[in-house]
Structure formats: C-alpha cells, structure tokens
Amino acid sequence: MTVIEKAREQASKSTLDNSADTTVVDMHTHFLPSQWPDLEQRFGTPDWPWLKHTEPGKAMIMVGQKEFRPVYEALWNPALRIEEMDRDGVDIQVMCATPILFSYERPAAQAAEVAQIMNDLALEMCSHNAGRLKALCQVPLQDIDASCREVSRAKASGHIGVQIGNHVGPKDMDDEGLITFLQHCASENIPVLVHPWDMLGRERMSKYMLQWLVAMPAETQLSVLSLILSGAFERVSRDLKLCFAHGGGSFAFTLGRVDNAWHHRDIVREDCPHPPSHYTDRFYVDSAVFSEDALDLLVRVMGEDRVLLGSDSPFPLGEQQVGKLVREHSSFSPGRKSRILGANAQAFFDLE
Ligand code: CO
C-alpha cells in the first residue's frame, strides 16, 4: 500500500466519508522559492522581498530590511509539501505565488522580469513531482500586453492557470485593461484565480492582523461586485474560468443586501441588467472559510459544483489539516464532498 493509499484509508476511516476514491485537489496554496536573485541589486531600488533563512526549516519573508512574515519549509521545499499532502490525503496541490511578489506598484518591465523568474522557479519546484504539484503563474498586471504575453508563455511552459491580485492600485476588476486580460485568458482556456492583496483601510487596521481578517474578505467582495454591477459578465466570454479565493470573501453573506439594493435603487442597477444573484454561475470560489455554517451558506449560494477545495496553506491562516472541513461535514452527501474535494477542480483545471 502506498503512502497516499494509507493516508486515504485513514482519512476515510476517521471521518466515515466515501471520498477515498476521489482525487483530492487543493487548489489554493502558496509557495516561495528557497532563493531567487537579489532584486534590490538587480533593479537598484529598495524594499524588494527576499527570504531570510533563520534556522533549519524556518525563514522570515523580508521586505527590504523589514520583517514581513515568519514562514516554514513547506513554502519552498517540494518534498515536504508532498509529505504533508500524504498526511492530509491530498493528491494534487496547486501552488501560486505569495502576493507580496506581484510587484504591480513597480515599473512594469521589472514586474515582468520578476514574474518570469518566479514562474520558472515554480515549475522547477513542481518538477520534483510533476503529477502532484501544479503551478499557477503570476503576471505584471499593470501592463496588460505584457501580462497576456507572460500568461501565454507560462501556459506553454507548463503552468495550469494564473493567479492575479484583485486590483492594480485604484483599478478594480471592471477596469477595461483587466477585462481584456480576462478575455485573453478565456480565449486561451487559462483558468484565473483572483487573490486579494494590498488591502484597503490599512491605516485603521495595523493591529491583530485586521487587514487579513476584515479587509481581505471586503477586497474580494469588492472585486466580485465590480464585475457584476459594471455589467462585465455581460461582455466577458462564458468560457472564462474565474475563481475567487477565501470563499469569495464577504460576497455570499452580503448577496441578499446587494440584491435588495439592486431592486430598490436605480443607481445600483444602472449598468447591471439582472439582479446580482443572477451571476453566481459565472465564477467559482474556494472552500477556505473555516466553519461549517459558512461552507453551508457558500454551497447554497454558489451551488456544489462551484466550490473548490482550497486551503491557503502553508500559512498559519490556512486550513491546518487540509480538507478536514469538507470531509467531516455533518450533512454533505459523499457525492457533494467528492465534488468539492476534487472533481470540481479537476474540471476547472482540465486535470486528468
Ligand atoms: Co492565499
């Protein structure tokens, strides 16, 4: 019996579910390479991210000379990632960049170079076990032409999709340039994961990780509503495969409020011909919501075919035992668990 078969047997015994036959796909995880070229030296400007290895297995993500976040080896060591996947009964992991590397606020040519470096290093990590480790590329989203070029290059070299930050400075997802990029991805069948970053209201949320707890879900909701209320979904191809991280942030919980506003205020429906809830069949969300009640609501709002297992590991704000919330759900049918744990992601990414 292989390690993964053992893990599956254990997982299925401990939770009495029937998902042991499912190919489990964790579609939202982050990576950083163990090291990369010194960007401060390369570009001659300060405050680029780098990884300071502090002790065996541990490191600090640095921004210039400032400590950003302590991290551990799973972030850069593919062998350890596979071990943790075996422990949790995960067959395939989709890794994407840590948003601090997006560099959208930098000159576009520099962000394009960073994207190429990180995208190539991601594939190098995946090559450790190409069947089980997959990567989403990053692009220099402040330059749409360069982004289209890089996403096509990355797809041709082995990336299975792209992760983008949810905004570029003041430009939200209804920006014409961003729509052009989404359209390009739709035309080349490249799935897009939208990840919140560069959070709003920073000056009021300096303590207790409030940027991550309050602003991040709001960022994602802002992105979803930008697309819906601007009528962007009326223009973008139905072929677009679009997924929002963290269960779509505050979207599902506040959809009733938004629908009510659409019905009763003409300025809300100005550019949007249908009630906002009409558009939930145009995108997907991951399952990183950390409570059964929230997951129930999410599945009711989005449908069981539009929620994909995503853990946000290996960060402390991610699911610590990947898939536990879904596997141990008290009332989901085996079929529903199986779809959320893997079948939905297999279809989304065209995985075997
Ligand atoms: Co994440």
Per the CB < 8 A criterion, the answer to whether 190 and 162 are in contact is yes
Q: How far is the CA of 273 from the centre of ligand 1 (A)?
A: 32
Contacts of 237 (CB under 8 A, 6+ apart): 183, 186, 187
Q: How far is the CA of 314 from the centre of ligand 1 (A)?
A: 9
Q: Which residue has the tokens 């570009």?
A: 43
Q: Mean pLDDT score of the chain, rounded to an integer?
A: 94
Contacts of 65 (CB under 8 A, 6+ apart): none
Question: By residue range, what is the domain housing residue 230?
Answer: 3-32+78-349
How is the chain split among helix, strand and coil, in percent rounded to 5? 50, 15, 35
User: Residue 114 falls within a domain, yes or no?
Assistant: yes
User: Residue 51 falls within a domain, yes or no?
Assistant: no
Q: Which helix (H) or strand (E) holds 300?
A: helix 292-302
Return the structure tokens found at 198: 């560069």
pLDDT band, residue 13 (cuts 50/70/90): very low
Return the structure tokens found at 95: 């890794």
Q: How far is the CA of 264 from the centre of ligand 1 (A)?
A: 35
Q: How far is the CA of 234 from the centre of ligand 1 (A)?
A: 28
- For the segment 11-31, the average pLDDT, to the nearest whole number, is 74
pLDDT value for 102: 97
pLDDT greater than 70 at residue 11: no
pLDDT value for 99: 94
Helix segments in 67-129, DSSP class H? 78-88, 108-126
pLDDT greater than 60 at residue 134: yes
d(CA 216, CA 312): 13
Contacts of 154 (CB under 8 A, 6+ apart): 119, 137, 139, 162
Q: What is the CATH number of the domain that holds 145?
A: 3.20.20.140
Per the CB < 8 A criterion, the answer to whether 58 and 64 are in contact is no
Q: Which helix (H) or strand (E) holds 301?
A: helix 292-302
User: Residue 152 falls within a domain, yes or no?
Assistant: yes
Backbone angles phi and psi of 113, in degrees to 5: -65, -45
Q: How far is the CA of 245 from the centre of ligand 1 (A)?
A: 7
User: Residue 126 falls within a domain, yes or no?
Assistant: yes
Q: Which helix (H) or strand (E) holds 308?
A: strand 307-308
User: Residue 52 falls within a domain, yes or no?
Assistant: no
Helix segments in 143-289, DSSP class H? 144-157, 176-187, 210, 216-229, 232-235, 251-264, 266-269
287, amino acid identity: S
Q: How far is the CA of 288 from the centre of ligand 1 (A)?
A: 9
User: Residue 279 falls within a domain, yes or no?
Assistant: yes
User: Residue 59 falls within a domain, yes or no?
Assistant: no
Q: How far is the CA of 269 from the centre of ligand 1 (A)?
A: 31
User: Residue 219 falls within a domain, yes or no?
Assistant: yes
Task: List the one residue out of 164, 105, 169, 106 whose CA is nearest residue 138.
Answer: 164
Q: How far is the CA of 182 from the centre of ligand 1 (A)?
A: 20
- For the segment 339-351, the average pLDDT, to the nearest whole number, is 98
Q: How far is the CA of 29 from the centre of ligand 1 (A)?
A: 6
Q: How far is the CA of 344 from the centre of ligand 1 (A)?
A: 19
- For the segment 318-336, the average pLDDT, to the nearest whole number, is 96
Q: How far is the CA of 271 from the centre of ligand 1 (A)?
A: 31
pLDDT greater than 60 at residue 198: yes
Domain count, the chain: 1
- For the segment 196-221, the average pLDDT, to the nearest whole number, is 96
d(CA 175, CA 164): 14
Q: How far is the CA of 195 from the centre of ligand 1 (A)?
A: 6
Q: How far is the CA of 75 from the centre of ligand 1 (A)?
A: 12
d(CA 77, CA 74): 5
